[in-house]
């Protein structure tokens, strides 16, 4: 989403000859209502924030006296309906229908290393693979970092020819990544999902988060903050999470927790220890 897109929506609604000073609060509210009825909640919310910022700047510069967009709307940053957890077994099935190891490596780096595809793959060189990690270039969005990679990822990489300075993916255009992946999905019979590559990265980050790694480890691997991870990447499996809460709750309130048993056994020993010391 860009300011150019927001501008197109505004001109499409008000016309290119509309004076910003003529817009009222009612005009802005009706415009936002139209956006909300034609766009998804995330897009409508994002465009509204841009309008409010631009008109706020116009007020600060003295172009207008009041900001017609100075009202509150529910902020929506993520459309969770577009989340899709890509099971490892499913992605391995799709990889079997890739045409070569270069395509399989791209998919594996997205799903099992959580790299941003294609932005972080177009810059990878053979020298960036070192034993158990792949070094992500400092020219990307979040700077230099090292990401641990699975054995199968290393095996795909090891079968590719190239010198240390050569690009691993041979300078393919960004559309190549989407095109080959869609072909592999269709050949495998796996139904396409929304946000094709982003949901691979999201699934990887979700797996690592569920395994309980500390935030600094996750920051280092995936190159984003805990807030961004929770908001945009970590998928919430309500059924799985609630089942665990209920199971733990049953154990807590029934007195079956192992910690309670251990404590009961520990109390007599503690009493003996205190008595021996004259406590």
Which CATH number fits the domain that encloses residue 98?
Answer: 1.10.443.10
- Residue 69 and residue 113 in one domain: no
Domain end marker among 55, 77, 99: 77
Q: Are residues 206 and 135 in the same domain?
A: yes
| 96 in the same domain as 47 | no
Residues 93 and 125 in one domain: yes
Please say which residue of 77, 100, 127 terminates a domain: 77
Mean pLDDT of 42-56: 83
Using one digit for the tens of pLDDT, what is the confidence trace for 216-229?
Answer: 888 877 776 556 65
**Same domain assignment for residues 122 and 31:** no
Residues 16 and 73 placed together within one structural domain of the fold: yes
Domain assignment present for 273 = no
In a domain, 250, yes or no: no
More reliable by pLDDT, 158 or 276: 158
Lowest-pLDDT range, 15-19, 40-44, 50-54, 150-154? 40-44
User: Are residues 96 and 204 located together in one domain of the fold?
Assistant: yes
Q: Shortest CA distance to 45 belongs to which of 77, 10, 13?
A: 77
In this prediction, residue 237 carries a pLDDT of 60
In a domain, 277, yes or no: no
What is the model's pLDDT at position 107?
95
> Residue 194: pLDDT band by 50, 70, 90 thresholds?
confident
In a domain, 112, yes or no: yes
Model confidence over 260-274: pLDDT tens digits? 445 555 566 666 666
Pair 102, 143 in one domain: yes
SS (H, E, C) the chain: CCHHHHHHHHHHHHCCCCCHHHCCHHHHHHHHHHHHHHCCHHHHHHHHHHHHHHHHHHHHCCCCCCCCCCCCCCCCCCCHHHCCCCCHHHHHHHHCCCCCHHHHHHHHHHHHCCCCCCCCCCCCEHHHEECCEEEECCCCCCCCEEEECCHHHHHHHHCCCCCCCCECCCCCCHHHHHHHHHHHHHHHCCCCCCCCCHHHHHHHHHHHHHCCCCHHHHHHHHCCCHHHHHHHCCCCCHHHHHHHHHHHHHHHHHCCCHHHHHHHHHHHHHHHHHHHCCC
Confidence of residue 176 (pLDDT cuts 50, 70, 90): very high
For the chain, give the mean pLDDT: 80
Note whether 141 and 193 are same-domain residues. Answer: yes
**What confidence tens digit (pLDDT) does each residue in 72-93 have?**
777 655 556 677 889 999 999 9
CA dist., res. 221 & res. 237, Å (int)? 22
Per-residue pLDDT for 60 more than 60? yes
Strand partners, 134: 129, 147
Query: Which residues are CB-contacts of 279 (< 8 A; sequence separation ≥ 6)?
Result: 273
pLDDT confidence tier of residue 34, bands split at 50, 70 and 90: confident
pLDDT at 80: 60
Residues 167 and 116 in one domain: yes
- Residue ranges making up the domain that contains 28: 3-77
| Residue 167 shares a structural domain with residue 205 | yes
Using the predicted structure, report yes or no on whether residue 249 has a pLDDT greater than 60. no
Residue 132 dihedral angles phi and psi, to the nearest 5°: -100, 5
Total domain count for the chain? Answer: 2
- 114 in the same domain as 53: no
């Amino acid at each position: 989403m860009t300011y150019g897109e927001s501008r197109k929506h505004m001109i499409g609604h008000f016309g290119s000859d509309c004076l910003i000073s003529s817009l009222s609060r009612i005009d802005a509210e009706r415009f936002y209502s139209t956006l909300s009825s034609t766009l998804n909640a995330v897009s409508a919310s994002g465009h509204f924030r841009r309008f409010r910022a631009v008109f706020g700047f116009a007020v600060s510069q003295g172009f207008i006296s009041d900001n017609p967009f100075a009202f509150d709307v529910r902020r929506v940053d993520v459309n969770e309906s577009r989340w899709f957890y890509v099971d490892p077994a499913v992605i391995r099935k799709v990889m079997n229908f890739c045409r070569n190891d270069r395509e399989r490596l791209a998919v594996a780096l997205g799903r099992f290393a959580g790299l941003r595809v294609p932005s972080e793959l177009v810059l990878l060189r053979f020298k960036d693979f070192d034993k158990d990690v792949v070094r992500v270039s400092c020219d990307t969005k979040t700077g230099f970092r090292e990401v641990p990679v699975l054995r199968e990822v290393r095996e795909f990489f090891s079968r590719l020819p190239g010198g240390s300075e050569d690009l691993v993916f041979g300078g393919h255009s960004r559309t190549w990544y989407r095109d080959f992946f869609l072909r592999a999905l269709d050949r495998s019979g796996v139904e396409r999902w929304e946000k094709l590559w982003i949901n691979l990265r999201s699934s990887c980050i979700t797996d690592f988060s569920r395994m309980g790694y500390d935030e600094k480890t996750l920051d280092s691997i995936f190159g984003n903050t805990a807030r961004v991870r929770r908001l945009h990447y970590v998928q919430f499996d309500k059924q799985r999470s609630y089942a665990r809460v209920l199971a733990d709750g049953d154990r807590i309130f029934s007195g079956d927790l192992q910690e309670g048993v251990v404590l009961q056994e520990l109390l007599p020993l503690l009493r003996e220890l205190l008595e021996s010391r004259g406590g």
